[in-house]
Amino acid sequence: MVRLKNDNFSIAQICRSGQCFRMDILGNKRAEAIGLVAFGKYLEVFQEGNEISLDCTQEDYDHIWKSYFDMDTDYAKIISRIDATDSYLMSAAAFGSGIRILRQDLWEMIISFIISQQNHIKRIRRCIRLLCERYGEKRVAPNGVEYYVFPTPKALSQARIEDLYACNLGYRSRYIYETANAVLHREINMEKLAGACYADASRELLKLCGVGAKVADCICLFALHKMEAFPKDTHINKVLAARYPNGFPFDRYHDCGGVLQQYLFFYHLNGMS
DNA sequence: CATCAGGCGAGAC
DNA sequence: GTCTCGCCTGAT
């Protein structure tokens, strides 16, 4: 068990923020408890106040989870930069101050956010669960929990389009099929993407079938940690139209727009108005 | 029952 | 380049 303290970390907010589709509430009443699958591992996280416990070895924390939860970024500092006269953004940031921009797996984010288009979170999660159960490797965690890792590009490329329809993917089935094959045949360079700047990464991702501006931004933000990416989905567009009729100050927040997007999105879905 | 979800591709112009 | 339209499926 690895124990931490952090005033800007809420496992419940991270879970409900919608950036990770493989994070589930465990139902522990004393503490916020979440089980998640990422990078081939299963992890349980418990939290009471600002005290966080991760059920993993120190080695796994140092090599996987510290980066995954973006523990080296000071979110209080980002929040302190918000224009104090922007009361809506101040409220949104206060409401979601425990959200962190995870550093998730690139391939998993590509598929997950292709699935997310014109879709509800409930169905998105079911689609991903079915893909993992049917095409991912089954494993057992040290504590005995059985889980499925996210399927590899090769495993998904071997699925027929009709099999993908059976995973409830609907018209996205063809996108998944095309993208899995494109990645398998190295039509885009996944290694190069990791080190690319935001503009180059976006351009490369847009080559994939089923990836448009919004999905590319989600991948840039949640996998490549491009904090300037500001995904504009239907909810955010409503917020921007209602609260920022004269335009959102993207320039002021150019290097942390993605964090603010998450605060606005989370506040809109879970908070007031 | 209609509408709409964390949009995108294809075709028209 | 910009605009429109159709799309799987199920929650509400």
Residue A182 corresponds to which amino acid? A
The closest nt to A118, taking CA to C1', is B5
Shortest-distance nucleotide from A173 CA to C1': C8
> Along the 273 residues of chain A, how does pLDDT read in single tens digits?
999 999 999 999 999 999 999 999 998 888 999 999 999 999 999 999 999 999 999 999 999 999 999 999 999 999 999 999 999 999 999 999 999 999 999 999 999 999 999 999 999 999 999 999 999 999 999 999 999 999 999 999 999 999 999 999 999 999 999 999 999 999 999 999 999 999 999 999 999 999 999 999 999 999 999 999 999 999 999 999 999 999 999 999 999 999 999 999 999 999 865
pTM listed for this prediction? 0.97
pLDDT in tens, A109-120: 999 999 999 999
Contacts for A148 with CB less than 8 Å, ≥ 6 apart: A37, A132, A133, A136, A137, A138, A139
- A215 CB closer than 7 A to any strand B atom: yes
* pLDDT 10s digits, A142-194: 999 999 999 999 999 999 999 999 999 999 999 999 999 999 999 999 999 99
Give the domains, in start order, of chain A with CATH numbers.
Answer: 2-72 (3.30.310.260), 106-222 (1.10.340.30)
d(CA A178, CA A182): 6
Q: Any idea which nucleotide's C1' is nearest the CA of A123?
A: C10
Strand B contacted by A270 CB (< 7 A): no
Task: Report the distance separating Cα A95 and Cα A91, nearest Å.
Answer: 6
- For strand C, give the nucleotides within 7 A of a protein CB: 7-12
Q: State how far the alpha carbon of A197 is from the alpha carbons of A150, A171, A201, in Å.
A: 26, 31, 6
CA of A145 to C1' of C2 (A): 52
With distances taken from each CA to the C1' atom of nucleotide C8, the closest residue turns out to be A170
Q: Calculate the CA dihedral of residues A64, A53, A261, A171 and round it to 10 degrees.
A: 60
